[in-house]
Structure 1
Amino acid sequence: MLTGLYGAGFLGRRIGREIDTEFVFVDDTPSKLGAIIDGHKVTSLELFSRCAPSHSLVLYVCIYQPGFSYLKKRAEIRAMYPELDVRPFTALFHSAASGALPYLFFESPTRLGEKLDRYEEIGRLLNDDLSRSTLSGHLAFRITGQFEKIVSTSRRDVPFLKDVLSPTVTYVDAGAYDGDTTEDFVAITNGRFGHLCLVEPDAKNICRAEKRLADLSLSNSVTFRQEAISDVRGLMGFNALGSVGSSLDSGADDKVKTSLLSDFDCEGQLYIKLDIEGAEIPAISASIAFIASRRPILAISVYHRPDDLLEAVKLLQDIEGYAFYVRCHGPAGEDLMLYAIPN
């Protein structure tokens, strides 16, 4: 059997360092073809497929990034190269590459199994059937590694949110990236809102967001703030990647201003979306008194670490009058969001 890891990027290399099986990297990036990465040759899909029928070929798709669909990629590869046995990287997480865990929300099935009672408690707190089926599907995906278990919906398909938004609401997009989620918010409200505040520490991402929103003719209703929401005010190291993965890093040379959630308070209804690359829980914890008194609408990313959802609900459930919803807005389990709607 000949094994290929499709994707010689961060995830593929992380998995490759853990497995004992001989393998080659398979990648579509022209600059990588023929190179040796971590001691393994990089080849193309076409060249890899030519190794059949002298070898049985197993190809593990080792790509996990926003918007990427394993199921679509598997269908594409099978259509072009039916001789390939295409499998997800999660199959390796559950076997030869278990040492690569935890990774984002992925953890060993054994550790996850120890927490299922707590997830059942969260299920009883959720406010609609779709939230419960979304949570159930996400847990089934994490246990089995089967992408087919995921229940996902569009970021614009949030009727429980649309029903409560005021036409004068202020939307704080914390971790705004290139403005894509702000654009979704504008669509959800049909352009009826008070103000938009995009908070993004990466200057390159802010430039992209400015260009994206310029087309919406919203210049008088938008504020861009190059800073990061955190659990402390001050300056912190930051890895400016110019991508969705830009994140705080205390060891980085570049510095960015950090602020608390309360620094974005305003009059009237306040809606905060928080997607800050794994720093959500400390930021919420540091501002829990503000949240309890101000009662903003919250949309919290809970997929960067295994216990994000458990910890977010634990922090918020004792604040009286919040209704909770869970939605997965990504095709591969990413963009798992906890919505907290004040009554």
Structure 2
Amino acid sequence: MLTGLYGAGFLGRKIGQAIDAPFIFVDDTPAKLGTVIDGHEVTNLDLFAARAPAEPLVLYVCIYQPGFSYLNKRAEIHARYPDLDVRPFTRLFHAAASSVLPYLFFEAPARLREKLGRYEYISQLFSDDLSRSTLSGHLAFRLTGEFEQIVSSARRDVPFLLDALSPAVTYIDAGAFDGDTAEEFVSMTGGRFGHLCLVEPDANNIARAQQRLAGLVQPDRVTFRQEAVSDVRGMMGFNALGSVGSALDAGAEDQVNTALLSDFDKEGQLYFKLDIEGAEVPALRASLDFIAARRPFMAISVYHRPDDLLDAMTLLEGIDGYRFYLRCHGPAGEDLMLYAIPA
């Protein structure tokens, strides 16, 4: 049997380095065709599929990016090669490449099963059935690796949030990237907000956000701050990749200013979106007194670490007057968001 890893990028190489059995990379990038990466041949899908029926083929899709759908990619491949055995990279997580774990929210199934009782407890704290089915589907996906288990919904399908926001709300987009979620917020609210504050430590991302929002929002209604929300004030190492992967890193040479949630306080209703590459829980922990006093609306990313959701709920459940909702806005289990809505 000939094994192919579809995707010779970060995830594919990481998985490949953990596999002892021989394989080849399959990649769509023309410049990679015919090269050797980490000691493995790189070919394209057509040349890989052409090796059948001389030998059985299995192709693991090792791509995991925002907006990428494994199910759509599998359907696309099967439309061209119906008999090709296509599998998700999660199958390798549970077998030949288990040493890669933990990776984002993925962890060994045995470890996850030990926590199911805690997940059942927080499930009862959610305010609607869709939150509970979102959680159960996400857990089933993590346990089985089957993308079909995911329950996802559109980012704008959050009536519990939109119906409660004031027309004068201040929206603090922490981890604003290139302004994509701020742009969607403007669209979702129909422009009914007081002020936007985009917080993004990567200068290249800030520049792209400014271009994206130019002409969409009046200049006096938007602020751009090149900072990182964290659990301390000061300076911290930062890897500026100009992508969604830009993140704080104590060992990095580049430095960026860090701030607490309370540093963005402003009179009136506050709404924080926290998507800060795994720093969400420490940022919440450092600002619990501020959260309890001001009770802002919050949308918190809980998919960068295996225990993000458990840890965030442990911190927030003790604050009176919040209702909690869970939504998965990504087709592949990413963008799992915990919404904390003041009653």
1:302 equivalent to 2:287? Answer no
The residue identity in structure 2 corresponding to 1:120 is: E
Match of 1:292 in 2: 292
The residue identity in structure 2 corresponding to 1:132 is: R
1:150 equivalent to 2:150? Answer yes
* In structure 2, distance between residues paired with 1:239 and 1:31: 26
Q: Secondary structure, in 3 states, of the residue corresponding to 1:125?
A: coil
> How far does the alpha carbon of each residue in 1:217-268 deviate from its partner, in whole angstroms, 9 at most, with x for none?
4322000000100011111111111001100111111111100100000000
The residue identity in structure 2 corresponding to 1:42 is: V
* In structure 1, distance between residues paired with 2:32 and 2:290: 49
* In structure 1, distance between residues paired with 2:157 and 2:12: 33
Match of 2:20 in 1: 20
1:214, distance to aligned residue in structure 2 (A) = 1.0
1:316 equivalent to 2:320? Answer no
Q: Is residue 328–residue 334 contact of structure 1 (8 Å, CA) maintained in 2?
A: yes
* In structure 2, distance between residues paired with 1:309 and 1:183: 26
* In structure 2, distance between residues paired with 1:279 and 1:313: 15
1:19, distance to aligned residue in structure 2 (A) = 1.4
1:38 equivalent to 2:6? Answer no
* In structure 2, distance between residues paired with 1:240 and 1:192: 33
Match of 1:338 in 2: 338
Q: Secondary structure, in 3 states, of the residue corresponding to 2:136?
A: helix
* In structure 2, distance between residues paired with 1:82 and 1:142: 27
1:83, distance to aligned residue in structure 2 (A) = 3.1
Match of 1:64 in 2: 64
Q: Is residue 239–residue 246 contact of structure 1 (8 Å, CA) maintained in 2?
A: yes
Match of 1:259 in 2: 259
Match of 1:219 in 2: 219
Q: TM-score normalized by structure 2?
A: 0.99
**Compared CA separation, residues 215 and 58, structure 1 to 2 (3 A):** farther
The residue identity in structure 2 corresponding to 1:124 is: Q
Q: Secondary structure, in 3 states, of the residue corresponding to 1:167?
A: coil
> How far does the alpha carbon of each residue in 1:180-219 deviate from its partner, in whole angstroms, 9 at most, with x for none?
1111111221101000000000011111111111141432
* In structure 2, distance between residues paired with 1:254 and 1:150: 38
25-34 or 53-62: which moved more? Answer: 25-34
* In structure 1, distance between residues paired with 2:238 and 2:42: 31
The residue identity in structure 2 corresponding to 1:46 is: D
Q: Structure 2 unaligned runs (5+)? A: none
**Compared CA separation, residues 330 and 121, structure 1 to 2 (3 A):** same
Q: Percent identity?
A: 75
* In structure 1, distance between residues paired with 2:308 and 2:134: 16
Match of 2:280 in 1: 280
**Aligned pairs, number:** 343
1:30, distance to aligned residue in structure 2 (A) = 1.5
Q: Structure 1 unaligned runs (5+)? A: none
The residue identity in structure 2 corresponding to 1:28 is: D
* In structure 2, distance between residues paired with 1:215 and 1:337: 29
* In structure 1, distance between residues paired with 2:129 and 2:32: 46
1:50, distance to aligned residue in structure 2 (A) = 0.9
1:45, distance to aligned residue in structure 2 (A) = 0.6
Q: Is residue 57–residue 83 contact of structure 1 (8 Å, CA) maintained in 2?
A: no
1:119, distance to aligned residue in structure 2 (A) = 0.3
Match of 2:179 in 1: 179
Map 1:94-109 → 2, pairs under 5 A? 94-109=94-109
How much is the aligned-residue C-alpha RMSD, in angstroms? 0.7
1:154, distance to aligned residue in structure 2 (A) = 0.8
